[in-house]
C-alpha cells in the first residue's frame, strides 16, 4: 500500500482530475455566457429589422392581402412594380397599343398600396416618373404621372379601405377627367395655342357640315343650321369625356377584380348586377 502511494507521488506525468475540472469550469461558464449574449444580440437585430404590425382602424376593415415585411423587401417590390409600370407605358407608347393597355397602367401602383401601404405607393409613383423622365423625357413622364400615377394611388387607397365600387369609380372618373384637361393644357403651352378652343371649334364645324348634308337630303329643315353654337358643343364634349372616363374606370375595376385576386390582394366585390352579367356571359 505504501508502494502504491509512493508511486503516485513519484509519477510526475499523472494528471489530477480535480485540477482539470476546476480549470475547465470557468472556461465553460464563459462560453455559455458568450453564447447567451450572441443569442440576445441576434434577437435584437431581428427585432430592429422587422416592421411593426400595422394598426387597423375600426371604421375600415383591414385588407386581407396587406403584408408586413422588412424595409428591404418593401423597397425591392416597390422598385420592381415601378419598373413594370414604366415598361407598360414605354411599350404602349412605342408600339401604339395604348387603347387597351392603358387599363393596366394604374394597377401596379395600386397593388403596391394594397401590399405595403400609402408611403410605398407614392414612392412607386415617383420612381416611375423619374424612370420615364430618363427614358422618354420629362414631358411624357408628366403625362403618365397625371393621371395614371395619381389614379393608381387613389384606387389603391379606396380599395385598401374596402370602399364600394360606386364612390371609387366616381373619384377615379373625376381624377381621369382632370388628367385629360391637364394634358390639353400642357400641350397648349407647348403649341402656343388654346387646344381646347381649337378642338371644340373643329367639332362645331363638323356638326355644321353634317347638318348641312342632312338639310340637302331633305331630312331636316333649314332652320337647324343656325342652332349650333360653341358653348353647347363644349358642354356636350365635357359630358362625352366624363362618360368615356366612367367606362374606363369601370373597366379598370373589372381588370383589378379579375387579376389582383389571383395575386392574393383582392379588391372589394362588385355590385350584384355586375356579377350577374359576368355569370350570364
Q: What is the pLDDT of residues 213-239, one digit of tens each?
A: 887 787 777 766 666 777 888 888 999
pTM score of the predicted model: 0.71
Summarised one tens digit per residue, pLDDT across range 49-70 is: 554 444 444 444 455 555 666 8
Question: What share of the chain has pLDDT > 90, as a percent?
Answer: 43
* Cα–Cα distance, 166 to 152 (Å, whole number): 17
State residue 75's pLDDT score: 92
For residue 66, what pLDDT is reported? 57
Region for residue 264 given its phi and psi (left: phi exceeds 0; alpha: psi -120 to 50; beta: otherwise): left
Which letter, b or e, does each residue of 30-64 get, where b requires 16 or more Cβ atoms within 10 Å of its Cβ?
Answer: eeeeeeeeeeeeeeeeeeeeeeeeeeeeeeeeebe
pLDDT tens sequence across 17-54: 444 444 444 445 445 545 566 666 666 656 655 544 44
Check: CB of residue 230 under 8 Å from CB of residue 204. Answer: yes
Radius of gyration in angstroms for the set of CA atoms belonging to the chain, rounded to a whole number: 35
In this predicted structure, the answer to whether residue 186 has a pLDDT above a threshold of 50 is yes
- For residue range 113-169, list pLDDT tens digits in order: 999 999 999 999 999 999 999 999 998 899 999 999 999 999 999 999 999 999 999
Report how far residue 125's alpha carbon sits from residue 118's, in angstroms, rounded to the nearest whole number.
Answer: 11
| Residue reference for cell 507521488 | 9
Amino acid at each position: 500500500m505504501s508502494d502504491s502511494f509512493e508511486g503516485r507521488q513519484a509519477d510526475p506525468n499523472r494528471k489530477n482530475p480535480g485540477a482539470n475540472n476546476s480549470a475547465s469550469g470557468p472556461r465553460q461558464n464563459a462560453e455559455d455566457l458568450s453564447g447567451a449574449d450572441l443569442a440576445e444580440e441576434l434577437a435584437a437585430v431581428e427585432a430592429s429589422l422587422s416592421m411593426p404590425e400595422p394598426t387597423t382602424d375600426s371604421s375600415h376593415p383591414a385588407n386581407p392581402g396587406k403584408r408586413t415585411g422588412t424595409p428591404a423587401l418593401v423597397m425591392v417590390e416597390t422598385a420592381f412594380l415601378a419598373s413594370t409600370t414604366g415598361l407598360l407605358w414605354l411599350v404602349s407608347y412605342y408600339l401604339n397599343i395604348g387603347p387597351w393597355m392603358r387599363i393596366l397602367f394604374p394597377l401596379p401602383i395600386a397593388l403596391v398600396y394594397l401590399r405595403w401601404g400609402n408611403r410605398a405607393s407614392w414612392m412607386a409613383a415617383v420612381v416611375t416618373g423619374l424612370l420615364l423622365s430618363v427614358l422618354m423625357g420629362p414631358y411624357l413622364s408628366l403625362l403618365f404621372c397625371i393621371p395614371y400615377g395619381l389614379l393608381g394611388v387613389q384606387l389603391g387607397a379606396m380599395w385598401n379601405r374596402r370602399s364600394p365600387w360606386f364612390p371609387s369609380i366616381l373619384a377615379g372618373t373625376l381624377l381621369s377627367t382632370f388628367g385629360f384637361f391637364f394634358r390639353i393644357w400642357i400641350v397648349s403651352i407647348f403649341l402656343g395655342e388654346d387646344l381646347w378652343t381649337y378642338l371644340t371649334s373643329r367639332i362645331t364645324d363638323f356638326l355644321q357640315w353634317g347638318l348641312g348634308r342632312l338639310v340637302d337630303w331633305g331630312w331636316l329643315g333649314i332652320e337647324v343650321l343656325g342652332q349650333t353654337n360653341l358653348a353647347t358643343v363644349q358642354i356636350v364634349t365635357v359630358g362625352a369625356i366624363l362618360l368615356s372616363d366612367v367606362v374606363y374606370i369601370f373597366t379598370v375595376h373589372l381588370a383589378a377584380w379579375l387579376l389582383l385576386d389571383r395575386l392574393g390582394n383582392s379588391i372589394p366585390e362588385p355590385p350584384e348586377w355586375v356579377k350577374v352579367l359576368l355569370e350570364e356571359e
